[in-house]
Chains A and B, each alone.
Chain A
Amino acid sequence: MMTFIWVSLILILLSMLGLMYRVYKGPSIPDRLIALDAIGILIISATALLAIIFDTKFFIEVILLIAIMAFIGTVSFSKFIEKGEIIERDRNR
């Protein structure tokens, strides 16, 4: 069972390397952004596998936080790409 988890972890890291190629190559900004989002998700998996390897429950918060943060990050990037700013001004002020 442990061998399986080890192999999965290495596979995940290798796919992160593949995504790094996408971050580097692009060619467009959204391509890079999707790659970053995917790296975030892969880190979730890696953290979960490491939690099993280390036999600890302390990384559960980390997994939740990565999920939230990767989402926020991706949304803010996307919003920026679409509108040119992240936080819009309240026009009715």
Chain B
Amino acid sequence: MNFVFLIFIPIIAALFVPLLYKTIKRIHTGWFVLIVPIVLFAIYTTLLPQTMKGESIVSTLQWIPSMHMNFVSYIDGLSLLFSLLITGIGSLVVLYSIFYLSDKKEQLGHFYVYLLLFMSAMLGVVQSDNVISLYLFWELTSISSFLLIAYWYTNDRSRFGALKSMMITVFGGLMMLGGFAILGIAADTFSIREMIANASTVTSHPLFTMAAVLILLGAFTKSAQFPFYIWLPDAMEAPTPVSAYLHSATMVKAGLYLVARFTPLFASSSTWIWLVMGVGIFTLFWGSFFAVKQTDLKAILAFSTVSQLGLIMSLLGASALTYHSNEAMFAVASFAAIFHLLNHATFKGSLFMVAGIVDLQTGTRDIRKLGGLMSIMPLTFTVAAIGSFSMAGLPPFNGFLSKEMFLDAMLAVRSFELFQFDTWGILFPIIAWIASVFTFIYSMYFVFHTFGKKGDVEALPKAPKEAPTGMLISPIILATLVVVIFFIPNVFGKWLIKPAVLALQPNLYDTPQQIDITIAAWHGFDSMALWMTIGVVAVGTLLYLSMNSWKKIYDAQPERLTLNNGYDALLNFTESGMNKISRSYMTGIIRSYFMYMFAAIAIMTLIAVYVKDAFAFDPNSFAPVTIYAILNGIILVLAISFVLLAKSRMAAFIALGASGYSVALFFVMFKAPDLALTQLVIETVSVALFLLAFQRLPELKNHGETKKNKVANAIIAIGVGFTVMLVALASQSQKLLPSISEYYKETVETLAAGGNIVNVILVDYRGFDTLFEIAVLSIAAIGVYTMIKLRLKGEKKADENE
């Protein structure tokens, strides 16, 4: 079977959604959509035995083979894990959305089209082997995410959030494209597998570090790492199924996928390791710290997502250490990363769904208004508690296992010796521990402030009651998984995680069976991680109980210095600042534009002549100068000066006529009778035309010219004149080839049967030019005629209106 076609199934299904939505009104459109992810999930499950053996499946769809751009679906453990997450959680989210979105009030056709579009894009991202098609799908996730966030497009906040996420993720996407281009040039292929196979040639490329940074920019923006996380909290204006699907389980993990996928290529770079680990651990702390401050349920979850993504990111960074050291503990990092990625998808998905249920059943998501829902919504509370405890890293939930492994891996970082980790490595477990404390606090805050304590249930916008069964199915399935994974982690490890780890650590293992990591809930008392967890719980509980007394520290950061403010200021600057800059030179006055043009001509030509050392002066190439030519030259210069100095227009016209006549005399002197004839006629006609227009022209006056302006004009005019003179002298002095006019002279009578060489050139040798100059004249004539006639018509119409 050609698995590459599976990627496109959701898109094709999306084509039929509007049709179903319009024709079948009785059944919620979601039920039809639900079939797609379930079928895909089932198909991808059948591939598990192959990836468990360490095999991979490749299938290709030719797109632009001549440019080496093809849709290559490469399914190994890592991409299969992601594909299962996308289709599996996709099914649950579609099921949840059927009960969440009303088919009466909402435009379901749009919603499911966008959702299916996103599903295709996401499958494409995780399965693509070709970086160009990977980029294509990557941008498609950005676009469909944009559409989904702004699903309630009449809401201002939704549009703002959608635009923000679009700007940030597309910025990252474009940076990533640059990184891919560099990699494509360095490795001479667009295939990720071949790049990794040729890793040694790629790493020696001078732009290698640049490619690493660019690709990381793409991954960090998509995965909401510091400081690009700011779009994620604003994306919470989307419908809750979207938040659960895109902004916790799938899209935000695309960046993690990218980092994991490219780890074998970039692991040799210390920049990569430091960036991934440093940014990840800092995001972990930052996200967990600010999650406590939030008052909106979904905002807490958004910051928590940011923080957990940072956790996984730092683990991915730590997994790159195995390329430099044989320490067995670093291998745990990659396992922990994949494991926590899976765990996070389960508990965060369920928590978002819980938040959606609370929102729908009580009419508010504001945690300050909520409370005391435990007895009213017992099932929802149970799911919320399971998710939150798992998020906090408590047994018996899966978050405990991955948190322990995370702490183990961070403790192990201390023993890494390269890249100054011996100095700074100690920071990683410390920050990780502090972040875990805050994670514990906001997890408890989330569940107990919503469901626990005594709340004023009467004051809620809606009288709360337990959610309908259908809405609870998906979160309960996810919560069950959370518990099940805790009790049988090694089954999941064997089926899903070890094959995925293989993609990260091809240097260590050949098959998933070689990975000898077993997950154990109990390591014994000598395990440092256990004591750290106990510390987290103890300190976390204390801090949670005394929350009101230390919450003031959040007010210490002034509003002006927040990252959101920085983003707004940047946007403001690009809009009004750039406007100001363009307005400063786009004056709308032709005079200024001419100044720019002529100054540019003079400066650029002079620089070119100077740089190329092109100026030459050869007096031998000049013809002898006659006295009457000098005199005529003086007359011409005088006539032109009078044009410039004339006080009235009429005087300027007359001086212009005189200069035209003296040019005609030059033509006579240089033996060009035809030119002299034409010049005289044209000169007279144009003077007559000036006189025709004269009547309508205003008096010569100052149009805002200042003295400064005039000086600048004079400088530019002198500059241009000087430049043209230099160029003319230089070109006259270095004629490299003889003229071809000898040929005309010899053949004008024998070939063309003419005596006037100028006319024969015009109509015979070079007749084409003449033809089109005739065309120019006719266009000008028609243009003049049209302008006069149209103007008259316009005037008449204006009269009629009066």
Contact = CB atoms under 8 A, between A and B. Distances in A.
A36 B650 contact: no
B194 to A, nearest CB: 77
Given A26-B651, A50-B669, A20 B635 contact: yes
Contact of B654 (A33, A46, A62): A33
Interface in B672-686: 673, 676-677, 680-681, 683-684
B658 A9 contact: no
Contact of A39 (B661, B681, B694): B661
Contacts of A14: 631
B631 A13 contact: yes
Contacts of A36: 654, 657-658, 661
B787 interface: no
Contacts of B694: 80
Contacts of A23: 639, 642, 651, 654-655, 658
A47 B675 CA distance: 14
A56 B635 CA distance: 25
A85 B639 CA distance: 25
A6 B130 CA distance: 85
Given A13-B632, A65-B680, A86-B691, A46 B638 contact: no
A75 B687 CA distance: 12
A26 B654 CA distance: 11
Interface in A20-78: 20, 23-24, 26, 29, 32-33, 35-36, 39-40, 43, 46-47, 50, 54, 56, 58-59, 61-62, 65-66, 69, 72-73, 76-77
Nearest to A21: B638
Contacts of B662: 16, 39, 43
Contact of A73 (B631, B642, B688): B688
Contacts of B635: 13, 16-17, 20
A27 B363 CA distance: 91
A26 B646 CA distance: 10
B224 interface: no
Given A10-B631, A13-B635, A20 B658 contact: yes
B654 A32 contact: yes
B754 to A, nearest CB: 14
A40 B661 contact: yes
B673 A29 contact: no
B735 to A, nearest CB: 25
B628 interface: yes
B664 interface: yes
A20 B631 contact: no
Nearest to A56: B671
Give chain B's interface residue range (CB within 8 Å of chain A).
35 or more
Interface string B676-718: 1100110110011001101100000000000000000000000
The secondary structure that dominates the B interface is helix
B634 interface: yes
A16 B692 CA distance: 27
B627 interface: yes
A62 B673 contact: yes
Contacts of B691: 76-77, 80, 86
B668 interface: yes
Contacts of A9: 628
Nearest to B665: A43
A40 B688 CA distance: 16
B657 A73 contact: yes
A87 interface: yes
B692 A86 contact: yes
Contacts of A58: 673
A86 B688 contact: yes
Given A69-B684, A87-B692, A17 B634 contact: yes
B639 to A, nearest CB: 6
Contacts of A66: 664, 680
B376 to A, nearest CB: 94
A69 B681 contact: yes
A62 B658 contact: no
A85 B681 contact: no
A33 B691 CA distance: 13
A33 B658 CA distance: 10
Contacts of B668: 43, 46-47, 50, 59, 62
A72 B684 CA distance: 8
**Which of B671, B691, B694: most chain A Cβ within 10 A?**
B691
A46 B673 contact: no
Contact of B680 (A56, A69, A86): A69
B627 A10 contact: yes
A25 to B, nearest CB: 10
Contacts of A17: 631, 634-635, 638
Contacts of B680: 62, 65-66, 69
Contact of A65 (B642, B681, B687): B681
Contacts of A32: 650-651, 654-655
23 contacts: A13-B631, A16-B662, A17-B631, A29-B648, A36-B657, A36-B661, A39-B658, A39-B661, A39-B662, A43-B665, A46-B628, A50-B669, A58-B673, A62-B668, A62-B680, A65-B680, A69-B680, A69-B683, A73-B657, A73-B688, A84-B695, A85-B692, A85-B695
Interface of A: 9-10, 13-14, 16-17, 20, 23-24, 26, 29, 32-33, 35-36, 39-40, 43, 46-47, 50, 54, 56, 58-59, 61-62, 65-66, 69, 72-73, 76-77, 80, 84-87
Given A32-B650, A59-B668, 13 more contacts: A13-B635, A23-B639, A23-B654, A23-B658, A29-B650, A33-B654, A35-B654, A40-B661, A54-B671, A62-B668, A66-B680, A73-B688, A77-B654
Q: Which 3 A-B pairs have the closest CB atoms?
A: A13-B631, A69-B684, A58-B673
